[in-house]
Structure 1
Amino acid sequence: MDRQQILELYHWTSGTCFRHPGQGEVSTAHVKTIRPAAGGIQDIRACTECVVGMEEQRKAAAEGAGLPYRPGIPPGE
């Protein structure tokens, strides 16, 4: 699967990348929801470069563990 095909698996909207907040509003995808100890819910969003990087890491981890890699689908789902 190429870069564009992987990016098409995500829903993109304007937001702030959790790794690059200084870039301001850019095209981002929701990658995780966390529940901080202080309460509430926080959605984590990532820019295209970060999503591609995270998918590369997920692919390497899956291959290293002998598991199938399914882009756009978090482990365990």
Structure 2
Amino acid sequence: MTELEIKNLIEAGLNTQSVEVRGDGHHFEAIVISEEFAGKRPVARQQMVYATVQPEIASGNLHALSIKTLTPAEAN
């Protein structure tokens, strides 16, 4: 998978203000900023993001994704 493909999946599944994905083709890191994270615990936030890419993880197309989640207020 490419960084852009992962970014597009996350943006399609969540109402985000910003998504940044970096990686080397095998291991990726996503920084996701969304109002939807407000009031949610870190694990719940990560589960929301993982849900957007779960089919790719299950198929083996996406091997490793670390996720950092922030609300817009936390990002400033």
Structure-2-length-normalised TM-score: 0.27
* Larger helix proportion of the pair: 2
Task: Indicate the structure (1 or 2) with the bigger Cα radius of gyration.
Answer: 1
Structure-1-length-normalised TM-score: 0.26
RCO (CA 8 Å, sep 6+): is it higher in 1 or 2?
2
